[in-house]
């Protein structure tokens, strides 16, 4: 199509000279890799871009991104805290959140009164929720975490991320979650020294590992 005005449907080949208003348009040969940032969400922040009631959202504290915008990879409810990932690639976010990927989420959970043997067995075998069955891949009593009164801490792992899923599962087994902290998403863990309300950029190597986890 050399020397012609482009029309809808035309394709350019490598090496073609493309002009707009007489000026050359240059294209990058390689698409830049997605960026991923990790945010330590505190209790009381919403995972939404704006709130009609004026409450603080997680996006208020993220670094500005231009062009584009940060997309949340999953959610945490108002009363939950811990690891939240954001990316500048909507495609990557959708891939990581899709149930077929079965990406592990790991949480530290404080349960009022603790979980009995029967409740633990039920949660590992599967409980029925209003949006379908759900089960934990693993439940471990959390050693070294200070229990208070009858509250007991556990570390749980599941391979999906439905709305308030951990809380609803524990309730289905007869318990009640009084504290919930996400500490891992896939291969990315919450740094022990990252204060609540702060974020860091995930390094290129870990970002590539995350991308590979949805490409295999």
Give yes or no: residues 81 and 53 share one domain.
yes
Domain count, the chain: 2
Residue 123 lies in a domain: yes
Give yes or no: residues 75 and 108 share one domain.
no
Residue 173 lies in a domain: yes
Give yes or no: residues 109 and 174 share one domain.
yes
pLDDT of 147: 65
Highest mean pLDDT among 2-16, 21-35, 148-162: 148-162
Cβ–Cβ < 8 Å for 135, 125: yes
For the annotated catalytic residues, the residue numbers are 77
Q: What is the DSSP string of 75-132?
A: ---TT-EEEEEEES-HHHHHHHH-GGG---EEEEEEETT---HHHHHHHHH-EEETTE
Give yes or no: residues 126 and 179 share one domain.
yes
Phi/psi at 73 (nearest 5 deg)? -95, 90
pLDDT in tens, 35-77: 999 999 999 999 999 899 989 999 999 999 888 899 999 999 9
pLDDT at 16 over 90: no
Give yes or no: residues 121 and 81 share one domain.
no
Can you give the residue range of the structural domain that contains 89? 35-101+191-216
Residue 14 lies in a domain: no
Residue 47 lies in a domain: yes
- CATH at residue 130: 3.30.2350.10
pLDDT in tens, 175-210: 999 999 999 999 999 999 999 999 999 999 999 999
Helix (H, G, I), strand (E, B) or coil at 30: coil
pTM score of the predicted model: 0.82
């Amino acid at each position: 199509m050399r020397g012609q005005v482009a029309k809808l449907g035309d394709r350019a080949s490598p090496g073609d000279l493309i002009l707009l208003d007489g000026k050359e348009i240059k294209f990058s040969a390689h698409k830049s890799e997605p960026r991923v940032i990790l945010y330590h969400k505190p209790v009381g922040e919403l995972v939404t871009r704006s709130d009609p009631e004026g409450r603080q959202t997680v996006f208020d504290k993220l670094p500005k991104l231009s062009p584009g915008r940060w997309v949340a990879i999953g959610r945490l409810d108002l009363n939950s805290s811990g690891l939240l990932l954001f990316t500048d690639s909507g495609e990557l976010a959708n891939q990581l959140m899709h149930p077929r990927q079965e990406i592990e989420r790991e949480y530290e959970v404080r349960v009022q009164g603790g979980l009995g043997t029967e409740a633990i067995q039920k949660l590992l075998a599967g409980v029925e929720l209003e949006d379908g069955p759900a089960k934990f891949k693993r439940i471990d009593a959390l050693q070294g975490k200070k229990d208070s009164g009858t509250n007991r801490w556990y570390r749980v792992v599941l391979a999906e991320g439905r709305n308030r899923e951990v809380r609803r599962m524990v309730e289905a087994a007869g318990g009640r979650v009084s504290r919930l902290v996400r500490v891992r998403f896939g291969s990315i863990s919450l740094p022990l020294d990252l204060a609540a309300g702060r974020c860091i950029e995930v390094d290129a190597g870990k970002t590539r590992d995350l991308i590979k986890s949805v490409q295999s």
